[in-house]
Structure 1
Amino acid sequence: MLVEMLGTGDAAGCPKIGCGCAACRDALRGGRSRRARFSVLLRTGEGVVLIDTSPDLREQLLRARIPKVGAVLWTHAHYDHYGGLPELFRVQRRVRCYGTREMRDLVESTFSFMPLRFTTLEPFEEIELFGLRITPVPVHHPPLREPCGFVVIENDQKLVITGDTSIHIPQESLELMAEPKLLIADAIHPTLNFHKHMNATEALELAGMLGAERVLLTHLSHLYPPHEHAIKRYPLAHDGMCVALEATREESVQSQLDSYS
């Protein structure tokens, strides 16, 4: 499985409109602080799975040279995670979509003009797509009723995507998320506390709690230092970053944390 970070930004993206902070200036110069809204692409030999449809989806798919998406899965019903679905309209007919009941109600009412094939996901019920075993796990992202992350397994390789969440993830979800090769974790700010998102400290604590071999932080705001400075302290993902899961380095989270201290 090849994991490609199509977009690693939060709802505002980076550069944020009208902002002149150091990260936004770096983004405007074309640095790696430039972050589109969140989407992740999973490629296998059998097909392509897209996690969330960022409002920036058209440019993301063009850059990734993806002519067709095999299936779309959504983590939750917030615009920065579903708003780009119409970018597939007239490009791809009858898109295969997967999400919670809350997600289905929103998408079918908002994008009634699109011919969708929607399958409702149930918490902890595994589905199989293109050789991937995918399980939605409930997380905590108020006020939504049904936010979820995904546990993705190919052979003995395990990927966990938290989706947007606070650190208050249900215990049953944590048990299923344990010991991933790669954890892709929401970390909107380096240190500030948010009631519905993790900061970088909390995301790294979660990685340690789960026993993740590697962690990448995503859904990043413009409030981090410019990427080349921030990466010295935090394991940030960046737009266009690709990780071959079978090639993930055999290293403990603690050794990774030590390298950013």
Structure 2
Amino acid sequence: MDQLIFLGTGDSMGVPRVYCTCPVCQEARSGGRNRRLRSSALLRTAEGELLLDCGPDWVEQMEGLGQRTLTRVLVTHPHHDHIAGLPEWFDACRWTRSRGTVFAPGIVFETIRRQYPWLEKKLAFVPNDGGMEFGGWQITPWEVCHGKNGYSFAYRFVKNGYAWAYCPDAIHLTEKQKKPLHGLNMLVLGTNFYKEEARVESRSVYDMKEALELLAEAKPQRVYFTHMSHGVDIDAGYPLPEHVTLASRELTVSLRTGE
């Protein structure tokens, strides 16, 4: 059975924040459940594995899995917390004399090439604007609003009638952008806070209260919140529906595709 393994569930800075002594950071600093690496997940199938985003905690995430190799990465958008592990993966490919493949919409590669112009010596960049297939999954990207940070991409995965989506960085979705979230068996959605107090124009990711309004429209059967800041205590007991779970590192979810 295919699985999704959460390797990181933190926001762009991760938890703990080095400067912060809040209770959440202190608990995380002592190795507690609030310790969160930058958001990433691993789709494991009979065909192999597909990493969703490759951020600055990639080495620690690989060590946590006990893995020394990686073949494929799917990128949601070209921000530091989602691509900063690519140079380290490049170095691993260089030393092991191997090559990797990165999938993303073409516009994402434009930024990656500007930041890391040498990566294509060892990593093949494959645009997936029109969709792609892996492990029997039909994978379709679509652009979503990332608030003050511009745009991101979410992905919808469909196999044997089972559908799920990965949307770690989004806010203020239009009706068109919400449409692929309807009819899902599972949704992975980014939520920085339970209730964020910052000015709405300065924000880039849903908070949980806003996310619940989105879920009431889209009606996914199962939901996992990720991309959480130090404003979230995983053990706080927030008033969330039974089908909503705060994801934690190494949480493994079975994708019941009817195989």
TM-score, with length taken from structure 1 = 0.86
Equivalent residue, structure 1, for 2:43: 42
Give 3-state SS (helix, strand or coil) of 1:90's partner: helix
Letter of the aligned partner of 2:26 in structure 1? R
Which of 106-115 and 34-43 deviates more? 106-115
Decide which of 87, 97, 121 is 2:128's aligned counterpart: 121
Equivalent residue, structure 2, for 1:254: none
Give 3-state SS (helix, strand or coil) of 1:68's partner: coil
**Distance in 1 separating the partners of 2:165 and 2:214:** 12
Matched, 1:235 2:245: yes
Per-residue CA distance 1:136-169 (angstroms, 9 max, x = gap): 0111014555411000122222111113010x22
Give 3-state SS (helix, strand or coil) of 2:91's partner: coil
Per-residue CA distance 1:86-143 (angstroms, 9 max, x = gap): 2212323332111123310121222222222112232xx3210222211001110145
Equivalent residue, structure 2, for 1:251: none
Over 3 Å counting, the alpha-carbon distance change for 1:28 and 1:231 in structure 2 is farther
**Distance in 2 separating the partners of 1:210 and 1:67:** 39
Matched, 1:4 2:9: no
Letter of the aligned partner of 2:52 in structure 1? I
Residues 36-115 of structure 1 correspond to what in structure 2 (within 5 A)? Answer: 36-92=37-93, 93-114=98-119, 115=122
Matched, 1:138 2:146: no
Decide which of 223, 231, 243 is 1:223's aligned counterpart: 231
Q: Say whether the 8 Å CA contact 1:77–1:102 is kept in structure 2.
A: no
Equivalent residue, structure 2, for 1:180: 184
Which of 61-70 and 176-185 deviates more? 61-70
Letter of the aligned partner of 1:102 in structure 2? I
Which of 93-102 and 49-58 deviates more? 93-102
Give 3-state SS (helix, strand or coil) of 2:54's partner: coil
Per-residue CA distance 1:172-222 (angstroms, 9 max, x = gap): 332222121111111001111543210011122222211111111110000
Equivalent residue, structure 2, for 1:23: 24
Number of residue pairs aligned between Structure 1 and Structure 2: 244
Q: Say whether the 8 Å CA contact 1:23–1:223 is kept in structure 2.
A: yes
CA RMSD of aligned residues (A): 2.1
Which of 97-106 and 230-239 deviates more? 230-239
- Structure having the larger proportion of residues in strand: 2
Letter of the aligned partner of 1:235 in structure 2? T
Q: Say whether the 8 Å CA contact 2:147–2:205 is kept in structure 1.
A: no
What are structure 1's unaligned runs of at least 5 residues? 248-261
Letter of the aligned partner of 2:106 in structure 1? R
Q: Say whether the 8 Å CA contact 1:203–1:217 is kept in structure 2.
A: no
Q: Say whether the 8 Å CA contact 1:138–1:170 is kept in structure 2.
A: no
Residues 201-220 of structure 1 correspond to what in structure 2 (within 5 A)? Answer: 201-220=209-228
**Distance in 1 separating the partners of 2:99 and 2:110:** 17
Q: Say whether the 8 Å CA contact 1:181–1:245 is kept in structure 2.
A: no
Letter of the aligned partner of 2:158 in structure 1? I
Give 3-state SS (helix, strand or coil) of 1:228's partner: coil
Once the two structures are TM-superposed, the CA of residue 231 in structure 1 deviates from its matched residue by 6.0
**Distance in 1 separating the partners of 2:67 and 2:161:** 26
